[in-house]
Chains A and B, each alone.
Chain A
Amino acid sequence: MRRGVLILTLGLVGAALAYCCFYLMGTATPRALMRSGQPELAWLRHEFNLGDAEFNRISALHQGYLPQCKERCLRIDELNGKLSNALTTATQVTPEMEKLLNERAQMRATCQAEMLKHFFEVSRTMPPKQGKRYLAWVRENTCLREQAMNHGEASHGEADAPAHRP
């Protein structure tokens, strides 16, 4: 009986150890990514197999792009606020509202164009094959992939409509 219990315990302990070893080995990479200072850039490096030089250059591009992007976002927020104020009292479209709408659309277009420029710059910094993969990835996962126009006709163009972004 005692020998049986010993074998039973040995099996269970062995299973637990095997589980822990394989789980820790298998999750070593994602744990390292999460521990890094900038996990999203660490992910980019890992996902697109970047070397040190490429990664440093892309990190610099990323750090340079973000403040400009935030500045444009603040400007769009400001225009949104102005437009919202104008709409609360308006009963028809005024020249001021038209101006604000145009300005906001222009700012959004600038924002998207700058974003696209950044993506191209980043892709050029990568090895050609990875650069292509990166562009394909941003095409699928950023606002570059616009939603299909929809006037509430559920079945219209359903088959051709792009998938929702995550």
Chain B
Amino acid sequence: MKNKNPNGEDTPLDALLQEWKPKPSLPPRFQERVWRRIERAETAPAPAVSRAQLFAAWLSTKLPRPALATAYVALLLVLGATVGWSQARQENARVTTELGARYAQAVDPYQPSP
């Protein structure tokens, strides 16, 4: 028969358990390995963010700022106007040269054919 307290517990076992102090044995160079892992985790590159994600973030956080939005719209307006004007000047020069050549051809039959 085993000795049991009124609660039905095994008293020698309780005593034994209370005396027991576990002495964990760490693997060799445990501390050094832990520090190495921490170092590695700190120096590892951050998870890659795609350009689309960056653009989406810029679009939702940076662009709506009034100053940036105004500057962006103004810049595109100036850009469109500049390119349009520059191409118009090229077209002007082309048509002027072409019509001059046509006039010369009309009055001068010695002009080489285009």
Chain A: residues with CB nearer than 8 A to chain B?
Answer: 1, 3-5, 7-8, 10-12, 14-27, 29-30, 33-34, 39-44, 47, 62, 65-66, 69, 73, 111-112, 115, 118-119, 137-138, 141-143, 165-166
Contacts and interface: CB of A to CB of B under 8 A. Distances in A.
B11 interface: no
Nearest to A41: B103
Given A14-B77, A40-B102, A43-B102, A62 B95 contact: no
Q: Which 6 A-B pairs have the closest CB atoms?
A: A26-B88, A22-B84, A18-B80, A15-B80, A43-B99, A4-B59
Contacts of B13: none
A7 B103 contact: no
Interface stretch (B17-25, B30-38, B106-114): B106-114
B15 interface: no
Nearest to B88: A26
B12 interface: no
Nearest to B68: A7
Most chain-B CB neighbours within 10 Å: which of A33, A40, A41, A47? A40
B53 to A, nearest CB: 12
A23 B88 contact: yes
Contacts of B4: none
A5 B58 CA distance: 11
Interface residues of B, number: 41
Contacts, number: 132
B89 to A, nearest CB: 6
Interface of B: 56, 58-60, 63-64, 69, 72-73, 75-85, 87-89, 91-92, 95-97, 99-104, 106-112
Which DSSP category, helix, strand, loop or mixed, fits chain B's interface? helix
Contacts of B59: 1, 4-5, 8
Contacts of B78: 18
Given A19-B83, A22-B81, A115 B108 contact: yes
Contacts of B111: 142-143, 165
Contacts of B76: 11-12, 14-15, 18
A69 B104 contact: no
Given A22-B88, A30-B92, A66 B81 contact: no
Nearest to B66: A7
A112 B110 CA distance: 9
Contacts of A73: 109
A25 to B, nearest CB: 7
Contacts of B107: 62, 65-66, 69, 115, 118-119, 138, 142
Contacts of B63: 3-4, 7-8
